A and B are shown apart, each in its own frame.
Chain A
Amino acid sequence: MPNNEAKDRPEIESKTENTISRRSVLKIGAVAGAAGVLAPSMLTSKEALGFQEIAEPVRCDPPAPAASPAHHPFVDNFSAPFPCDDHPLNPQPTEFPNLGAGEADRAPHPRWTQFAPAHFTYDMSAQAGLHQFHSDFGQTYIWGFNGQYPAPTLFGKYGKSGLVRFRNNLPTFTTTFGRNEMTIHLHNGHHGSESDGFAGDFFGTGFWKDNLYPNVYAGIDAYGGNPGVDGVGDPLEKMGSFWFHDHRAEFTLNNNVLGMNGMYIVYDSTDPGHENPSAGSLQLPGYYGVTDFPLILVDHKFCATSGGRTELVNAAGGDKFIVNGKIQPKMTVRRRKYRFRILNTGPTQTYDLTLIKPDGSVGTITVIATDANFLEHPLPVDAGANAGNSNSTTTPIVPGGLRVSVAERYDIIIDFAAFNAGDKVYLKENRSMFVGNPSPDPLPAGLNINNVLMQFNVVNREPWFPVDTPPIPSTLCTYPTLPATDNTWEWQFVLVGGRFRVKRPFDTVGCTFDPDHSAHCILQGTTEEWLINNNIASGWTHPVHIHFEEFRTLKRFVNGVEVPVPPLMSGRKDVSRMEAGQGALIKMQFRDYSGRYLIHCHNMAHEDNFMMVRWDIVPDQAALDACIADQQVCELEMKAKENYREEVA
Chain B
Amino acid sequence: MDISKLLTKPFEPHPASPGASRYTNAVLRNQNNETVKFYDDLIRGKQCVVNFMYAECHGSCPAVTQTLKTIYRELKDRMGKDLFFYSITTKPEDDTPAALKHYAETRNVDLPGWYFLTGESYDIETIRFRLFGMDHPGFDGDLTLHGSYLRIINDGRNSWGMAQAFASNRNILKRIAWQDPPKSYAERVVESRARQILIEQEVKKYGYRRDVMS
Q: Which residues of A contact B (CB under 8 A)?
A: 59, 62, 96-97, 99-100, 102, 104-108, 110, 172-176, 179, 193-194, 198, 200-202, 204-207, 249-250, 497-499, 501, 509, 511-512, 514-517, 594-596, 609-610, 616, 618-620, 623, 626, 630, 633-634, 637-638, 641-642, 644-645, 648-649
Contact = CB atoms under 8 A, between A and B. Distances in A.
Interface stretch (B11-19, B83-91, B109-117): B11-19
Contact of B161 (A102, A250, A517, A641): A250
A99 B195 contact: yes
Contacts of A198: 212
B3 A201 contact: no
Nearest to A627: B210
B107 to A, nearest CB: 10
Nearest to B7: A173
B115 to A, nearest CB: 22
B59 A645 contact: yes
Nearest to B15: A175
Nearest to A198: B212
Interface in B162-214: 162-171, 174-175, 178, 182-183, 185, 188-189, 192-193, 195-196, 199-200, 203, 206-214
Contact of A172 (B3, B16, B139, B211): B3
B9 interface: no
B145 to A, nearest CB: 3
Contacts of A516: 170-171, 174, 211-212, 214
B166 A512 contact: yes
Contact of B16 (A59, A97, A205): A59
Contact of A62 (B21, B142, B182): B21
User: Which of B144, B146, B192 has the largest count of A CB atoms less than 10 A from its CB?
Assistant: B192
A497 B158 CA distance: 28
A374 B110 CA distance: 62
Nearest to B209: A107
Contacts of B21: 62
B209 A512 contact: no
Contact of A619 (B166, B167, B196, B207): B207
A649 B59 contact: yes
Contacts of B67: 641
B66 interface: yes
Contacts of A59: 16
A517 B211 CA distance: 8
Contact of B212 (A173, A250, A515, A626): A515
B103 interface: no
25 contacts: A62-B21, A62-B22, A97-B199, A99-B195, A104-B192, A106-B209, A107-B199, A107-B209, A176-B16, A194-B209, A200-B212, A497-B144, A497-B145, A514-B168, A515-B171, A515-B174, A594-B208, A596-B212, A616-B210, A619-B208, A620-B207, A623-B206, A634-B171, A642-B166, A648-B58
A106 B207 CA distance: 14
A638 B167 contact: yes
A99 B193 contact: yes
Nearest to A250: B161
Interface in B34-90: 58-60, 62-63, 66-67
B33 interface: no
Contacts of A616: 210
A517 B174 CA distance: 12
B24 interface: no
Given A175-B15, A175-B158, A648-B62, 16 more contacts: A97-B199, A99-B195, A100-B193, A107-B203, A201-B213, A497-B145, A498-B149, A512-B164, A515-B174, A595-B208, A609-B162, A626-B206, A637-B167, A637-B169, A645-B62, A648-B58
A108 B196 CA distance: 10
B126 interface: no
- Complex A-B, nearest 6 residue pairs according to Cβ-Cβ distance, in ascending order: A498-B145, A175-B16, A107-B209, A645-B63, A200-B212, A637-B168
Contact of B210 (A96, A173, A630): A630
B148 interface: yes
A634 B196 contact: no
Nearest to A609: B162
A198 B209 CA distance: 12
B63 A641 contact: yes
Contacts of B167: 511-512, 514, 634, 637-638
B159 interface: yes
Given A250-B162, A497-B148, A637-B168, A645 B212 contact: no
A572 to B, nearest CB: 26
User: Which of B208, B209, B211 has the largest count of A CB atoms less than 10 A from its CB?
Assistant: B208
Contacts of A620: 207
User: Which of A498, A644, A645 has the largest count of B CB atoms less than 10 A from its CB?
Assistant: A498
A599 to B, nearest CB: 17
A512 B15 contact: no
B212 A638 contact: no
B122 to A, nearest CB: 19
B16 A638 contact: no
A179 B167 CA distance: 23
A514 B171 contact: yes
A331 B147 CA distance: 51
A207 B189 CA distance: 9
User: Which of B15, B142, B213 has the largest count of A CB atoms less than 10 A from its CB?
Assistant: B213
A56 to B, nearest CB: 8
B142 A193 contact: no
A595 B209 contact: yes
A641 B211 CA distance: 24
A645 B60 contact: yes
A452 to B, nearest CB: 27
User: Which of B3, B15, B58, B164 has the largest count of A CB atoms less than 10 A from its CB?
Assistant: B164
B165 to A, nearest CB: 8
User: Which of B66, B168, B189 has the largest count of A CB atoms less than 10 A from its CB?
Assistant: B168
